[in-house]
Homo-oligomer: A and B are copies of this chain.
Amino acid sequence: MRNRLLLRLLAIALIGIPLLSAAAEPISEKPNFIIVFADDLGYGDLGCFGHPTIRTPHLDQMATEGMKLTSFYVAAPVCTPSRAGLLTGRLPVRSGMSGGGDKRVLYPGDEGGLPPEEITIAELLQDAGYATACIGKWHLGDKPEYMPNSQGFDYFFGLPYSNDMNIEEGHPRHASSMDPDADFHWWDVPLMRNGEIIERPADQNTLTRRYAQESVSFIKEHQDQPFFIYLAQTMPHVPLFASDDFRNESSRGRYGDVVEEIDWCVGEIIRTLRETGLAENTLVVFTSDNGPWLRKKFAGGSAGLLRDGKGSTWEGGQREPTIAWWPGRVPAGTVNSGIASTMDLFTTAVHLAGGKVPQDRVIDGMNLSELLFHDKAGPRNLFFYYRGDQLCAIRKGPWKAHFNTWDGYSKVPPESHNPPLLYNLDQDPSEQHDIAADHPDVVKDLIQEAKGHLEAVTPGEPQYYELSPSWQEADFGLPSGAREVPKRNLQG
């Protein structure tokens, strides 16, 4: 420990000679990890991903000094299962956290949550000697046994679920609940520190600022120990709140205010890492839990050139604007379009920490070290897009086949496709030109991959589920019994 401290002090002393610190081997026997997980941020909502008016200088700078990942996916197109996928390195269907039917996320008071027998990235890093913090939104079950302190996090500061929850349906305030000028008192969401409610309702105006402060404090307090911070922003999920310094500052409106405050928050973290001499030993990854909530209009984001948004298995629902930063390790100014996923962050972090991923269960994550540190294509060639417990689409290399589509924006009825729709995502990232008819062999291959996957998947006991036979599975010969799992938990 003393040696680490001395080396860091030396690094601070040498700060005027940047070439040396960039060229030197990093102090990386146990690097720190920070995952900044925005909420409902769209692929097109950052300057470096092409937004014309939202100003994100800190994230742009992070991209200039690091890597933009342009085919980076989350495990599901909505909150709860996406978070479960990141923290466990597994497809949410395996842990029973996928949701299903009309029940797609957990609600306050639900009986279920992330099963204690699941092994989180925080638990593995904790075992490896890391200090671990969950700062921000949890949304993986609000009973004590499901909460962060029971899932490998030494420290928790944040909300147990989404910031729009705890207003009953039909309440007169509900209709306007997304009004960006609304009073935060309309939402009765609690702010917690570890197991204690410290504020209710949480003052949402200052949440992003306080998350930044908490993150900075945690970094400063753990300079002599490797640490992991899972910073799950509450914003830009509606309702949108920003602190005084950012409110009404963005020409993009309240949504822009909120994203610009998140950008500031990331800047504070990067600045702290530099000041503490930890920059060369810390991997920071910025991404989001799912695509933009398009139905919220001005209060929702933009998927840029991608189709659709939150809730959909079109690209806009699950491909996120992602930046990886680690001076001296992640090559500066690179753009990598290799397929990667939040689940891979699990495996990558465990590997870098010198640990081993669990051997007693299927782990979907893959080690991204070659991709991140050598700008290679990476190990992942397949990605599976689930809506709830339904496999809707599959990507293999540039090819994506849709068996079921469901428009996340307009709530039009879902459609099954047999044969599936086929797109070449490298050439047609906007999924505009179905070319299934031109590539029967590719279609056949992707159907086989999907069948093989479904036959091999063992769904976990559903933690929340509401049976709704409102749409059909694609008829591509999957073993239908595999999806007929009992419901365990219904709201209220």
Contact partner of A251 (CB less than 8 A), chosen from B53, B60, B426, B430, is B426
Instruction: Tell yes or no: A26 within 8 A of B by CB.
Output: no
**Chain A interface, >50% SS class:** loop
Write the A441-466 contact mask toward B (1 if CB under 8 angstroms, else 0): 00000000000000000000000000
Q: Which of A149-157, A297-305, A385-393, A414-422 contacts B (4 or more CB under 8 A)?
A: A297-305
Interface positions of A from 319 to 349, Cβ below 8 Å from B: 333, 335, 337
Q: A333 to B47, alpha carbons, bound, how many Å?
A: 11
Instruction: Tell yes or no: A433 within 8 A of B by CB.
Output: yes
Q: A71 to B53, alpha carbons, bound, how many Å?
A: 9
Instruction: Tell yes or no: A428 within 8 A of B by CB.
Output: yes
Instruction: Tell yes or no: A253 within 8 A of B by CB.
Output: yes
Contact partner of A305 (CB less than 8 A), chosen from B47, B51, B426, B427, is B51
Contact partner of A70 (CB less than 8 A), chosen from B53, B57, B68, B429, is B53
Specify which chain B residues have a CB less than 8 angstroms from the CB of A426 in the assembled complex: 53, 251-253
Question: Copy number of this protein in the oligomer?
Answer: 2
Closest residue of chain B to A256 (Cβ to Cβ) is B427
Instruction: Tell yes or no: A44 within 8 A of B by CB.
Output: yes
Instruction: Tell yes or no: A48 within 8 A of B by CB.
Output: yes
Q: A2 to B32, alpha carbons, bound, how many Å?
A: 57
Instruction: Tell yes or no: A402 within 8 A of B by CB.
Output: no
Instruction: Tell yes or no: A52 within 8 A of B by CB.
Output: yes
Instruction: Tell yes or no: A61 within 8 A of B by CB.
Output: yes
Write the A243-282 contact mask toward B (1 if CB under 8 angstroms, else 0): 0000000011101100000000000000000000000000
Instruction: Tell yes or no: A223 within 8 A of B by CB.
Output: no
B48:A48 contact, CB within 8 angstroms? yes
Contact partner of A50 (CB less than 8 A), chosen from B50, B71, B433, is B50
Instruction: Tell yes or no: A489 within 8 A of B by CB.
Output: no
B298:A427 contact, CB within 8 angstroms? yes
B335:A61 contact, CB within 8 angstroms? no
Instruction: Tell yes or no: A49 within 8 A of B by CB.
Output: yes
Q: A70 to B251, alpha carbons, bound, how many Å?
A: 13
Specify which chain B residues have a CB less than 8 angstroms from the CB of A43 in the assembled complex: 50
Write the A291-315 contact mask toward B (1 if CB under 8 angstroms, else 0): 0000001100011110000000000
Instruction: Tell yes or no: A64 within 8 A of B by CB.
Output: yes
Would you give 13 A-B contacts (Cβ < 8 Å), ordered by A? Answer: A43-B50, A44-B304, A47-B68, A51-B305, A52-B71, A52-B305, A53-B70, A53-B429, A55-B335, A64-B64, A251-B426, A302-B305, A304-B305
| 10 A-B pairs with least C-beta separation | A50-B50, A52-B70, A251-B426, A253-B427, A44-B305, A49-B50, A304-B305, A53-B426, A53-B337, A302-B305
Q: A49-B50, A53-B427, A305-B305 are in contact. List 6 more A-B contacts (CB 8 A).
A: A51-B305, A53-B426, A252-B426, A298-B433, A302-B430, A304-B305
